[in-house]
Amino acid sequence: MTLSETADTQSLEPVLVAVGLTKFYQDVRVLDGIDLAVLRSSFVVLLGPSGSGKTTLLRCIAGTERLSSGTLHIAGREVAGPGVHLPPDRRHLSMVFQDYALWPHMSVAENVGFALRRLAVRGSERRTRALQMLERVGMSHLADQYPGRLSGGQQQRVALARALVGESPLLLCDEPLSNLDAHLREQLRVEIATLTRDSGATVIYITHDQQEAFSLADQLAVIHQGRILQIGPPEQVYRLPANPFVAQFTGLAGSMDAHVVGRTGPERVRVRCGEVELEATAMGDPRPGEAAQVLLRADALSLGPSGFGALCGVVRDSSFRSGAYDHVVDMAQGFRLTGVRSNTRAARGSNVVVLIDPVGCLAFPYRDGVERLDAVSPDQPRLPEGVPAWPTERADLMGSPG
């Protein structure tokens, strides 16, 4: 076997395997039988609303929470299961926290080197490797500064360097960009993507931000009410959502009720909304005569002349964004669309025609217990009082600074 073939084989090995992960807080089921396999050197993003269970899942992987049931293996070793619970410092993983979690009494270099001290790396080598990693994140010139003198973006770079320097088989990221402003978020998003892929790190990253999730993920998992509803390449999750909730949480401009008129191809149907017929992408095998909910992606909408695949409406608002204009349009059929793009601004109150591309017009049938989209709440029952916030103790994952 050649070296490249060996590398390819290793990349197919799962670093993390979770089977049937369940977690209760008193009588609230927060994780509901999650199965997950994360391949070596992959970047997996868990996308979900607040209360979906994504943070609890990360806590169970890290070891700061005990599973109620299920098994968890990291790098081929069982770290959680019936009668098994390895503490965080024995799971050989790294963490990038939302609020940086740097030791305030240590310099930048000492914070990064702390991860190596736990691996029994000698003092001189420890500093050398810490400075090399700081160079990669553009922070070597501040190696002897203390965290309190750094900006939020600088602190997050130090936290990323500390997580990567130990070359752990698994890196966990707890919404690390949420405390930064828009410009820094974009800059650090690129740095995280580049550095982790260059280092070959295996990453599990949680966020509620759709744009962040799609820009980072090799594999995107949408999680809701303690269950992973769909996992796959981000393009697949976006174009072929498993259900209305996945479609909603990955970005919609609006939805409407319709009836299926008939098939127009293997993956297309014609639907009627009021007096207007549209072509849509068939999701879940909608059948002629069935009621359907049609979900509309913003990138499938544009203002244009009348014709098939067009609906009439009235402009309620418009805004300039990214070189073009986004419009809010109230449709004659009684629903509202947002994010309708045009290179020119349509006046508020003007009558317009909205063209709809069938690729981003998704028709889900009302059957098999599928709920209406507006009945699917993104909220989770509140956790009982006394349940600790994430993480319970920074020292659980980082050890004592001593």
Residues 348 and 232 in one domain: no
> Is 277 a domain residue?
yes
Residue that is written with structure tokens 């319709």 in the block = 258
Q: Measured between alpha carbons, how far is 216 from 194 in angstroms, rounded to an integer?
A: 10
Helix axes 108-117, 123-136, angle to 10 degrees: 120
> Is 2 a domain residue?
no
Q: Provide the pLDDT for residue 166.
A: 85
**188 closest CA partner among 202, 198, 178, 199:** 178
Q: Measured between alpha carbons, how far is 379 from 49 in angstroms, rounded to an integer?
A: 7
Residues 262 and 177 in one domain: no
How many Cα atoms are found within 13 Å in the side-chain-facing hemisphere of 191?
24
Q: Provide the pLDDT for residue 388.
A: 40
> Is 182 a domain residue?
yes
> Is 388 a domain residue?
no
Residues 305 and 349 in one domain: yes
Give DSSP secondary structure letters for 46-94: EE--TTSSHHHHHHHHHTSS--SEEEEEETTEEEEETTEE--GGGS-EE
CB 352 within 8 A of CB 346: yes
Tell which of 223, 243, 263 closes a domain. Answer: 243
> Is 206 a domain residue?
yes
- Determine the Cα angle at 181 with ends 178 and 183, to 5°: 120
Q: Measured between alpha carbons, how far is 176 from 99 in angstroms, rounded to an integer?
A: 7
Q: Provide the pLDDT for residue 401.
A: 57
Strand ranges, E, within 200-323: 203-207, 219-224, 227-232, 254-265, 268-273, 276-282, 291-296, 301-303, 310-321
Tell which of 208, 243, 278 closes a domain. Answer: 243
Q: How far is CA 264 from the centre of its chain?
A: 34
Q: Which amino acid is at 245?
A: F
Residues 82 and 193 in one domain: yes
Residues 88 and 237 in one domain: yes
Residues 257 and 174 in one domain: no
Residues 179 and 87 in one domain: yes
**What is the three-class DSSP state of 189?**
helix
Q: Provide the pLDDT for residue 399.
A: 56
> Is 330 a domain residue?
yes
> Is 394 a domain residue?
no
Residues 264 and 222 in one domain: no
- Indicate the number of domains in the chain: 2
CATH number of the domain within which 199 lies: 3.40.50.300
> Is 132 a domain residue?
yes
Q: Are strands 69-74 and 14-25 parallel, antiparallel or unpaired?
A: antiparallel
Q: Measured between alpha carbons, how far is 308 from 279 in angstroms, rounded to an integer?
A: 8
CB-based contacts of 205, cutoff 8 Å, min separation 6: 43, 44, 45, 46, 172, 173, 176, 216, 217
Residues 80 and 199 in one domain: yes
Residues 170 and 276 in one domain: no
Residues 154 and 274 in one domain: no
Other CB atoms closer than 10 Å to residue 32's CB: what's the count?
16
Q: pLDDT for 330-376, tens place per residue?
A: 998 899 999 999 999 999 999 999 999 999 999 999 864 444 544 34
Tell which of 243, 260, 289 closes a domain. Answer: 243
| Structural domain of 268 | 252-373
Residues 95 and 178 in one domain: yes
Per residue of the chain (402 residues), what is the pLDDT tens digit? 343 343 444 557 899 999 999 999 999 999 999 999 999 999 999 999 999 999 999 999 999 999 999 999 999 999 999 999 999 989 989 989 888 889 999 999 999 988 887 777 777 888 899 999 999 888 999 999 999 999 988 998 999 999 999 888 999 999 998 888 888 888 889 989 998 998 899 999 999 999 999 999 999 999 999 999 999 999 999 999 999 999 999 999 999 999 999 999 889 999 999 888 999 999 988 999 999 999 999 999 999 877 667 789 999 999 998 899 999 999 988 999 999 999 999 999 999 999 999 999 999 998 644 445 443 433 333 333 444 433 344 445 555 555
